[in-house]
């Protein structure tokens, strides 16, 4: 995050453009942690503006990855299901309710964001349903990361500790939901 902040211009408009460009670049890489960009956004801008910039960044990430998957087609689905076997269960669920699947995959982030976007694009679900469910599902994490970024230089502030506590609770909820999902899937396959 320090490198991002070091090379970000002082002008808030240019800073927002640079951060959004980094979101676009991130959508092409599975290995770069998205939370760093959200925290940097929270640190660079006032909280309300930071939240808007981070949501715009998420829209960019989700859109780029989706369309790459969309134009890559079924070859991408085959490769992704081999690399991430959990996706085969998602394929079965998706036929019934693609909105819920998109939302669920974003709210419990147990697979990389870009992999999910590539997969959902490759399966050619309607983009409007995908993007709305994705933003809605990732909103809690985006808000918490933005708040953490806003208070990252003030570790003695209540906002810093509340956002860390809520992020830990959110991660715990995500792990629990993933466990329950796996348990239900395993029961259903027996």
What size, in residues, is the chain?
190
Distance CA 55, CA 106 (A): 13
pLDDT at 34: 86
d(CA 147, CA 117): 25
User: What is the pLDDT, as a whole number, of residue 92?
Assistant: 63
At 75, list the tokens: 């070859």
Low-confidence residues in the chain, pLDDT < 50: none
Please say whether the beta carbons of 118 and 65 come within 8 A.
Answer: yes
Residues 6+ apart with CB under 8 A from 106: 113, 116, 133, 134, 135, 136, 137, 138
Tell me the domain boundaries of the chain.
Answer: 2-189
């Amino acid at each position: 995050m320090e490198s991002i902040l070091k090379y970000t211009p002082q002008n808030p408009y240019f800073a927002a453009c640079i951060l959004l460009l980094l979101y676009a670049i991130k959508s092409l890489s599975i290995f770069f942690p998205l939370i760093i960009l959200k925290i940097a956004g929270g640190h660079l801008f006032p909280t309300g503006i930071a939240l808007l910039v981070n949501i715009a960044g998420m829209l960019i990430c989700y859109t780029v990855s989706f369309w790459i998957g969309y134009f890559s087609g079924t070859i991408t689905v085959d490769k992704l299901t081999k690399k991430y076997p959990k996706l085969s269960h998602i394929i079965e669920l998706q036929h019934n309710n693609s909105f819920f699947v998109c939302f669920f995959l974003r709210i419990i982030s147990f697979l990389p964001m870009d992999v999910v976007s590539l997969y959902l694009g490759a399966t050619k679900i309607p983009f409007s349903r995908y993007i709305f469910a994705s933003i809605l599902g990732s909103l809690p994490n985006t808000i918490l990361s933005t708040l953490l970024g806003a208070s990252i230089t003030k570790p003695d502030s209540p906002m810093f500790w509340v956002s860390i506590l809520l992020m830990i609770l959110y991660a715990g909820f995500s792990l629990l939901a993933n466990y329950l999902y796996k348990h239900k899937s395993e029961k259903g396959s027996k």
